[in-house]
Amino acid sequence: MNIYHSLDSFQKLEYGVATSGTFDGVHLGHQKILTRLKEITQQSGGESVVLTFWPHPRTVVSEDSQDLQLLSTIEEKIELFAQLGIQHLAIIPFTRSFSELTSDAFIKQVLVEKIGTRKLVIGYDHRFGRNREGSFEFLQKNCSEYGFEVEEIPREDIEHTAISSSRIRKALITGHIHEANELLGRAYSLAGTVVKGKQLGRTIGFPTANLYVHEPYKLIPMNGVYVVNAMYQEQVFKGMLNIGVRPTVDGTIRTIEANLFDFDKEIYGEDIKLELLHYLRPEQKFNGLDMLVKQIGIDKENTLAYFG
């Protein structure tokens, strides 16, 4: 997949089959659009193009963006688009001036002049341009002038399962990890660097890898204990994860701590990825470390039972 961090480096295509959007999570609804994009590409002999925007448009145009929580980082989106077989990914820097582009200017300057779009695929009710003024009806009315065709993925093709990024976010922050994973079409993941913590886990027989997630906007699911797969240096390790403040030891800072089974390496400063598979229980305050250790033992038994 060719990746462009600016349209200046994009070489205009003879037959571009394009779609655009933020694609947060690249969930099953987005995948329907991308699957259709690839079908048209194969039928036409053209080349598939995804246009996405970074930073997220809300951080530029909205005053409440400090609370923004996203399902995917830009690096994760790049990886997902590549896995889905997209040929060209254009990451357009989203600025205040870019947000002021009218739909007509966006179509002419970006889709036509820069990309060489001959077929545009959009999801239902997708709008673009200043104040979201560009609609499917607008495109249909003017597409002959622009020299390309437009196709909208029907509402029922996506909405019959009510797939949306906001629904997935709600599932994650309420502990419904299975629902989130079903709508994503894969396990929700957290990636970051292993950092030193209080090292309490070592003293009670359950050493943990403390994950530091670099992106402040990445959504961290509901506090509690999860079953996870951990990816480290192209190997997969089973384990359990605690997200929370560790109330039993009077903790106040939220941490992400994974106990990996059959793993005894020192990996401080190295990167790992955690896939959240199942929600075991909410975070609890126990009456002393002995009760905590007993419960962690039960959590491990339940985790091993989950893996069968």
Task: Give tens-digit pLDDT for 108-157.
Answer: 999 999 999 999 998 876 777 666 666 777 777 777 888 888 888 876 55
Distances from the Cα of 33 to the Cα of 38, 157, 253, 271, angstroms: 9, 10, 40, 32
Whether 174 maps to a domain, the answer reads no
At 84 the pLDDT is 96
Whether 253 maps to a domain, the answer reads yes
Q: Count the helix, strand and coil residues of the chain and give each as a percent rounded to the nearest 5.
A: 40, 25, 35
The kind and range of the H/E element at 3 are strand 2-4
Average pLDDT of the residues in 159-178? 86
How high is the mean pLDDT of the chain? 89
Total residue length of the chain: 308
**Residue 76 dihedral angles phi and psi, to the nearest 5°:** -65, -40
User: Minimal CA–CA distance to 50: which of 10, 98, 8?
Assistant: 10
Whether 115 maps to a domain, the answer reads yes
Domain boundaries, position 22: 2-163
Instruction: Tell whether 196 and 300 lie within a shared domain.
Output: yes
What is the side-by-side strand order in the sheet with 16-20? 2-4, 88-93, 47-54, 16-20, 117-122, 149-152
Distances from the Cα of 19 to the Cα of 38, 90, 111, 181, 300, angstroms: 11, 10, 9, 24, 45
Q: Which of 50-54, 202-206, 223-227 has the lowest mean pLDDT?
A: 202-206
pTM of the model: 0.90
Q: How many domains does the chain have?
A: 2
CA dihedral 92, 96, 97, 100 (to 10 degrees): 100
The kind and range of the H/E element at 157 are helix 155-159
Q: For residue range 55-68, list pLDDT tens digits in order.
A: 988 888 877 767 78
Q: Which residues of 221-256 are buried (b: 16+ CB within 10 A; e: fewer)?
A: bbbbbbbbbbbbeeeebbbbbbbbebebeeeeeebb
**Residue 276 dihedral angles phi and psi, to the nearest 5°:** -90, 115
- Whether 108 and 146 have beta carbons less than 8 Å apart is answered as yes
CATH number, domain with residue 57: 3.40.50.620
Instruction: Tell whether 133 and 217 lie within a shared domain.
Output: no
Instruction: Tell whether 135 and 18 lie within a shared domain.
Output: yes
In whole angstroms, what is the distance from residue 108 CA to residue 115 CA? 10
Strand partners, 98: none
At 136 the pLDDT is 74
At 155 the pLDDT is 61
Instruction: Tell whether 155 and 25 lie within a shared domain.
Output: yes
